[in-house]
């Protein structure tokens, strides 16, 4: 979980330093991190979804991605535990 969050902080610092992506109007390299889009940090504007925004706030996108990453980690942990237990029971 730490590397993606550190990357997010790095992107915020680059945006604050004036680095722009796309055609010069995005403050982040990906639409789900573009906090200068109409949805901003906590907005919900699905009608604006397109190449520069998902139509949801950056906070919601990061929260959703964090939940997905945590669930995938838990699933892999459970799978590894199951396979380890199965291999040692035989």
* Domain containing residue 47: 2-89
What value does the mean pLDDT take over residues 35-45? 88
Average pLDDT over all residues of the chain: 88
The reported pLDDT for the residue numbered 90 is: 60
CA distance 41 to 39: 7
DSSP-derived 3-state class of residue 44: strand
The reported pLDDT for the residue numbered 13 is: 92
Q: Tell me which of 1-5, 9-13, 62-66 is least confident.
A: 1-5
1, two tokens: 């979980």
**Please, which residues have CB within 8 angstroms of residue 21's CB and are 6 or more apart in sequence?**
27, 28, 29
> What are the C-alpha distances in Å from 66 to residues 8, 46, 48, 50, 79?
12, 21, 23, 22, 20
Q: By the 8 A CB rule, do 61 and 55 touch?
A: no
What value does the mean pLDDT take over residues 58-80? 93
Number of domains, the chain? 1
């Amino acid at each position: 979980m730490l590397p993606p969050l550190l990357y997010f902080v790095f992107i915020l610092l680059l945006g604050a330093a004036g680095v722009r992506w796309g055609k010069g109007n995005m403050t982040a390299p990906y639409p789900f991190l573009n906090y200068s889009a109409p949805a901003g940090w906590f907005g919900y504007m699905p009608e604006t979804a397109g190449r520069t925004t998902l139509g949801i706030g950056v906070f919601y996108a990061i929260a959703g991605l964090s939940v997905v990453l945590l669930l995938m980690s838990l699933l892999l942990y459970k799978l590894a535990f199951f396979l380890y237990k199965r291999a040692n029971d035989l």
